[in-house]
Amino acid sequence: MRGLPNFYHSYTFFFFFLLILFPAYSISANTLSASESLTISSNNTIVSPGNVFELGFFKPGLDSRWYLGIWYKAISKRTYVWVANRDTPLSSSIGTLKISDSNLVVLDQSDTPVWSTNLTGGDVRSPLVAELLDNGNFVLRDSKNSAPDGVLWQSFDFPTDTLLPEMKLGWDAKTGFNRFIRSWKSPDDPSSGDFSFKLETEGFPEIFLWNRESRMYRSGPWNGIRFSGVPEMQPFEYMVFNFTTSKEEVTYSFRITKSDVYSRLSISSSGLLQRFTWIETAQNWNQFWYAPKDQCDEYKECGVYGYCDSNTSPVCNCIKGFKPRNPQVWGLRDGSDGCVRKTLLSCGGGDGFVRLKKMKLPDTTTASVDRGIGVKECEQKCLRDCNCTAFANTDIRGSGSGCVTWTGELFDIRNYAKGGQDLYVRLAATDLEDKRNRSAKIIGSSIGVSVLLLLSFIIFFLWKRKQKRSILIETPIVDHQLRSRDLLMNEVVISSRRHISRENNTDDLELPLMEFEEVAMATNNFSNANKLGQGGFGIVYKGKLLDGQEMAVKRLSKTSVQGTDEFKNEVKLIARLQHINLVRLLACCVDAGEKMLIYEYLENLSLDSHLFG
């Protein structure tokens, strides 16, 4: 029995030695207590409860610098979403994360802090604990209070280059933070880069992409459904967008409603803003959306009172009632000088407004907002202010509501094929009237009854001749889309006989119709980056559907002489000629003046590039 105490002393010493040598084994799955630590040498990490995210030390590429960061654990491809000491890396593989003096700190090999949460609040009586949540948020809180008011610090208030679901971008009155994301310096260097994406809270809030001190791209203001400058931003069954404007906060965020869907918004080291969605079957991130995507996304591309339209050549156009400020430079396709008024505003009366449809609203940082009035009251408010140059609704839902007005010059405007909203620009009375129509009225009033009768006979004769032409010519424009769709739905079904092994089989080839919005989204609004080629018929774009299928879109020019009958015959012919050695026709699209053919996408360019180089 005398040897028993010595045995207990030896056992206690051995157990204490293990705790000192291997501290990682005492760390809980998703928390770090005040008595625990994370070290680089032990390679220990903290994992969120649902195994979605993981926190630990890492070194990117072949670099010898070490960082504390968070990455996805639930997916196979290592993707970092947050870095603590991005601008103060550890120079060696000796580093520790622990709770010290009511703060999270990262210590180097000399126990010198290289990063800290820098909390300077009052005394904290209860022990603190650091916890990694399933949404990717790393929080420091009271160990006895897991409610939001018990959180003393959170990583969501200090984003790096990634905006995660439930993370907010923008200003918070309680904390005083204006949260924004900033690019890595390079793909292997997480230090602060040149590009940032920030929410501007002045005027009518909107988000800007910056290159250091220069603005590159603007999202446009929130119009109740999406940002005015992002027509592709549509609500999905698994993704909900939210924009909050109040005295407490001005923030943008998004939320994922399905637990098995992973999506993130990030800014690359080259300044490209991108939304990615993880595709499990492909084991890769799919680029769901990006900006800037074309010339018209460049900030102030067409100067003041000019608007950009990627479907026109040149892309810069003056608003009605305005003319190029510098015609010579404008003729060289440089619209940065913008436009000037043809007639000055009178202010005393007679001014009116021209309605521009499907527009990205002008820069709203100096605009005024009144959410309590509608479009009619907004028009009267603008007319009463001699400095008011334009107005629009703040919310486009329903019949529209709210009022935003501009004073001074308008700039960074663009037009979309689909999306955007109405903008009302103030013009002098003389610029509102069509001079040609006014002259025609004067001439018409001077013509006698006999001449009118003669004209009536001529018109009747011409109408009889044109009656034999295609029914689409005499159909009202508003019915054109419906009739075109009906013709295609009823007649682009081809019956053909194929003789195979001396047996007759009759196959009905049905060619599906695609919605214009689906084609526009697949081609990133027919961006120049997706352009494959161009000919007398129009332009061919590369597209990608939400399920990842690639396609080639032949968009017939609006100036093409090809009518609906010719288009229908071409569809029938191509559908009959389906062959293993021919490009397969997948679908077609008819929408008002738009006519498009959708083929399967094949690599290796076109035949003429191989024949003629």
Could you list the residues known to form a binding site for ATP, using ranges: 554
φ, ψ of residue 5 to 5 degrees: the values are -60, -40
Backbone dihedral region for residue 281 (phi beyond 0: left; psi -120 to 50: alpha; all else: beta): alpha
128, HSE (Cβ side, Cα atoms, 13 Å): 19
Of residues 151, 150, 177, 155, the one with CA closest to residue 166: 155
φ, ψ of residue 414 to 5 degrees: the values are -145, 160
Neighbours of 260 (CB within 10 A): 9
List residues forming the annotated binding site: 554
Contacts of 182 (CB under 8 A, 6+ apart): 159, 160, 161, 192, 193, 195, 196, 197, 267
d(CA 285, CA 181): 19
DSSP, res 319 = P
Q: Which residues of 101-131 are buried (b: 16+ CB within 10 A; e: fewer)?
A: ebbbbbbbeeeeebbbbeeeeeeeeeebbbb
Residue 404 tokens read as 């935003």
CA 399 from chain centre, in angstroms, equals: 25
- What is the enclosing helix (H) or strand (E) of 607? helix 607-612
Of residues 508, 514, 521, the one with CA closest to residue 485: 514
- For the chain, how many helices (H) and strands (E)? 11, 41
- What is the enclosing helix (H) or strand (E) of 14? helix 4-21
d(CA 125, CA 129): 13
- Any idea which residue has 């020019």 for tokens? 557
- Residue type at position 312: T
Bridge partners (DSSP) listed for residue 542: 552
31, HSE (Cβ side, Cα atoms, 13 Å): 12
Of residues 449, 484, 475, the one with CA closest to residue 566: 484
φ, ψ of residue 612 to 5 degrees: the values are -115, 0
CA 567 from chain centre, in angstroms, equals: 33
| Omega cis (within 30) before 292 | yes
Of residues 165, 179, 91, the one with CA closest to residue 135: 165
CA 507 from chain centre, in angstroms, equals: 43
Do the beta carbons of residue 575 and residue 589 sit within 8 Å?
A: no
